[in-house]
Amino acid sequence: MSVALNPIQARRVNGTLRRPDMFYVYDDGTESDKSSDKILTADCADNSTQTKENPRQRLTIPKCLITPRRKLKRGKLKLMDWKKYHRLSVIYAFIEELERDYPAICTVSVIGKSVEGRDIKMLKISNSNADNSGVWLDACIHSREWITVAVITYIADMIVKNFHTLSSAVTSKDWHIIPVLNPDGYEYTHTHERMWRKNRARYGGECVGVDLNRNFSYGWGQLTGEDGSSDEPNHIFYRGPTPFSEPETIAVRDTILASITPFKVFISFHSYYELIIFPWGNRQDPCPDYLHLLEGGAVMARVTPRNT
C-alpha cells in the first residue's frame, strides 16, 4: 500500500529533485517518485465533509443487545464469504442478514434507485449515540472494481460482529456502508462485460454510461481529458450532461445532506491502483485540512496487514 502526497514545493527523493505534486511512502517508510499521474487522475475519489452540532440526546445500548438476536445456523454463511466475488443479490442478502442478527446496531435502507431501477442499499452500523460522527464508505462506484465490495463488506462484518470489543474510536461512529454504489454496472460486469466501469445511463444514442465519480458537482467539468473528465458520452470519463444528473450520485448527495449526524469521514474505495488520494484533485494548492488528511493517509498506508 502506498499513499500519494502533495507537498507544496518540489522535494528531493532518492537524491533527485522531483516534481512537486507527488511521491510515495511505502510500508517500510521508504519514499519513491514512481510516476502515475494518469492513474491518479483517472480514478480520483470524491470527498465530502460537513460539521454541525448534534442536538440529539445520548443513548446507551447494553452490550447484551449487540450480540446476535438469534443463534447463527450452521452453514448459513455459504452464500457470503470472502473467497470469491459475489453477485448483487448475495451482497444485499449479507447486509440484510446482519440487520436481522444485530438489530440493535444494524439498519439497512434503500438510499436510491439506479438508472435501471435497482436498489442502492446502505448498511448503517450505529449504537445510536447522539454524539457520534458519521463515516461514509462506498464501493464499486466503478463497477469493475469488484474487490472494493469484498473489502467493505469485510469491514462491516468485522465491526458488527466485534462491536462490543472495539474501542470507542470505532463505536463512536455512525458507519454508512454502501457496498455497491453502481449496481447496474456491477451486474453488467457479471453478465456482459467484465471491465465495464460506468453506470448504464444512455446519452447520445448508443453511447452508454456516465463515469459516476466525475458526476459530482464540485469542480464538475473543470478539467478535461485524462486529467479530468470528458463531455463525450462514449468516453470512459464521461461526466454526464449536468452535475448530479445520475440517480446514483444523487443518492449519495441526498443521504449525506439529510443526515442528522455530522459527517467527518468520506472514503470511496477503488481498486485501480494502490493509492490513497485526497483533496484537492482539481488544483495545486493544499486544502484547509491538508495536514490532517496527510497524516491519516500516511497511517493508513503504513498499516501492515495481520497474518491470520
Residue numbers of the site for Zn ion (CB under 5 A)? 43, 142, 270, 272
**Cβ distance to Zn ion smaller for residue 5 or 42:** 42
- Whole-angstrom Cα distance, residue 79 to residue 165? 26
**Cβ distance to Zn ion smaller for residue 46 or 187:** 46
Assigned C-alpha cell, 304: 501492515
Distance in Å, CB of 106 to Zn ion, minimum: 27
**Cβ distance to Zn ion smaller for residue 160 or 252:** 252
**Cβ distance to Zn ion smaller for residue 138 or 174:** 138
Q: Tell me if 39 sits within 8 A of 59, measured CB to CB.
A: no
Distance in Å, CB of 140 to Zn ion, minimum: 9
Distance in Å, CB of 273 to Zn ion, minimum: 9
Distance in Å, CB of 39 to Zn ion, minimum: 10
Q: What proportions of the chain, in percent to the nearest 5, are helix, strand and coil?
A: 30, 15, 55
**Cβ distance to Zn ion smaller for residue 98 or 139:** 139
- Whole-angstrom Cα distance, residue 160 to residue 68? 10
- Whole-angstrom Cα distance, residue 230 to residue 236? 8
Assigned C-alpha cell, 113: 434507485
Sign, CA dihedral 167-169-174-175, equals negative
Q: Say which residues have a Cβ less than 8 Å from residue 202's Cβ, sequence separation at least 6.
A: 208
- Whole-angstrom Cα distance, residue 209 to residue 308? 40
Distance in Å, CB of 23 to Zn ion, minimum: 22
